[in-house]
């Protein structure tokens, strides 16, 4: 594992542990276990998935590099659709209920495993993008490209 990535993983993991575990002794033990996992190579899978996400983001193929941002646009449309649905419910409550039930049925038809997979992938992508952006900002601040 690249020492820079290894150090950053330990740093990020340590910060998460500090936030999630208020007890200092328990947090220190969790950090130690996290470091052991990293040394044992158990974080290799995480490194591979992160590199795949970064490769997708850097892809010159617009469908690949824009897939996750496009999901945000879909979510914005869903949220903005709630406004006219609220107005519709005043004038035609029965129609608003039917539309809402149809959307609910459509979304619950998607298996839970796919929702979890999507959530994990999206959070991983967001984390890697934040890491890359921070690294680029540090390079610019240091006078590099």
* pLDDT one-digit tens code per residue, 40-70: 665 666 666 666 667 766 767 666 666 667 7
Distance CA 110, CA 144 (A): 46
Q: What is the pTM of this model?
A: 0.38
Calculate the alpha carbon distances from 54 to 17, 68, 72 in Å: 24, 12, 18
Cβ atoms < 10 Å from Cβ of 67: 15
On whether residue 74 sits in a domain, the answer given is yes
Which pLDDT value is given to residue 1? 47
On whether residue 107 sits in a domain, the answer given is yes
On whether residue 32 sits in a domain, the answer given is no
On whether residue 45 sits in a domain, the answer given is no
Distance CA 34, CA 57 (A): 27
Total structural domains within the chain: 1
Of 30-34, 56-60, 78-82, the poorest mean pLDDT is in 56-60
Q: Distance of alpha carbon 55 from its chain centroid, rounded?
A: 16
On whether residue 112 sits in a domain, the answer given is yes
On whether residue 104 sits in a domain, the answer given is yes
**What tokens were used for 41?**
């190579």
Calculate the alpha carbon distances from 14 to 5, 27, 41, 115 in Å: 14, 8, 17, 27
On whether residue 75 sits in a domain, the answer given is yes
Segment 90-102 shows an average pLDDT of 91
Distance CA 81, CA 132 (A): 33
SS3 category, 74: helix
Q: Which domain holds residue 97?
A: 62-145
SS3 category, 12: helix
On whether residue 48 sits in a domain, the answer given is no
**What tokens were used for 79?**
């949220």
């Amino acid at each position: 594992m690249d020492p820079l990535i290894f150090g950053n993983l330990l740093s990020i993991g340590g910060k998460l542990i500090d936030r999630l575990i208020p007890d200092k002794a328990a947090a220190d033990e969790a950090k130690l276990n996290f470091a052991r996992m990293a040394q044992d190579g158990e974080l290799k899978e995480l490194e591979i998935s992160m590199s795949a996400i970064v490769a997708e983001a850097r892809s010159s193929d617009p469908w690949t590099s824009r897939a996750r941002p496009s999901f945000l646009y879909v979510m914005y449309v869903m949220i903005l659709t709630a406004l006219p649905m609220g107005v519709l419910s005043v004038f035609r409550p029965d129609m608003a209920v039917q539309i809402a039930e149809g959307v609910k049925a459509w979304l619950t038809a998607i298996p839970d495993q796919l929702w979890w997979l999507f959530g994990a992938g999206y959070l991983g992508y967001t984390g890697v993008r934040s890491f890359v952006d921070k690294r680029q900002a540090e390079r610019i601040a240091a006078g590099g490209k």
